[in-house]
Amino acid sequence: MRATGVGRLKGHVARKRAPRMADDAKMRTAAVCWTGLEFATIPVPCAEGFSYLLTRRFPMASLETPVCDFGSPAPNFSLPGVDGKTWTRDDCKGERGLLVMFICNHCPYVQAVRDRIVRDAKELAALGIGCVAIMSNDVNDYPEDSFENMQRVAEEFAFPFPYLLDESQAVARAYGAVCTPDFFGYDANLGLQYRGRLDASRKEAAPANVRRDLFEAMKQVAETGAGPADQIPSMGCSIKWRAD
């Protein structure tokens, strides 16, 4: 792919409006695309239409999450889990908060930190923070993310939290999820307090002694009810939206 592909994408994005355009600057994100020569960062309004466009034109496009919209409520959901149960938001909530994680099986950004996600979820549960993971990718285009493979991954890594399939992608849209992994940390009243990264890991795990951004933020939420003012966005593969 030539670098001019990014220029064409910028032009196309400038002409195309997403179905859920967000004008607020804090609801914007950035697509980081490999052009064949370099990584180029393209500002993109946070709407699944643009994420779908990037996914189709640049299958390896990576996205950064928007900044935290403090206090926004956690949408409810009712989704099937790999354990055969149906889970709702309130089923997953802990006494002091809730961590909603949008992940998948095939994304290298997720694969690099699965062990750390499991570790953090266990430690957060001890602090009263419930955790849940949701898979929203189009499984027809990405069979690695099928329900059967979700079950296999959950068993292999001994997930201590529900792993749910969002087949319609309605829950991802309700939350405004853009990538995997995408973390939403809520307080005891289900108001958003964290929308940042797990740690400095990208497609490879960061050194073991790096700051645990997600854990420290959610520990603060458990102890004080408020998340940190400064948050570093999570980066990952764009959610694979269905064509319809």
Per-residue pLDDT tens digits for 44-99: 444 444 444 444 444 455 688 888 999 999 999 999 999 999 999 999 999 999 99
Cis preceding linkage at 181, omega within 30: yes
Q: What CA–CA distance (Å, rounded) separates 174 from 144?
A: 24
Per-residue pLDDT tens digits for 87-129: 999 999 999 999 999 999 999 999 999 999 999 999 999 999 9
pLDDT of residue 64: 85
| CATH number of 78-238, picked from 2.60.120.10, 3.90.1170.30, 3.40.1350.10, 3.40.30.10 | 3.40.30.10
How far lies 153's CA from each of 111, 177, 235, in Å? Answer: 10, 21, 21
pLDDT of residue 61: 57
Torsion sign over Cα 194, 192, 46, 176:
positive
Q: For residues 163 and 154, is the Cβ–Cβ distance under 8 A? A: yes
The full 3-state SS of 176-239, as one line of letters, equals: CCCEECEEEEECCCCEEEECCCCCCCCCCCCCCCCCCHHHHHHHHHHHHCCCCCCCCCCEEEEC
pLDDT top residue among 161 and 11: 161
Q: What CA–CA distance (Å, rounded) separates 220 from 217?
A: 5
Tokens of 4: 């001019």
pTM reported for the whole predicted model: 0.79
Structural domain spans, the chain: 4-64, 78-238
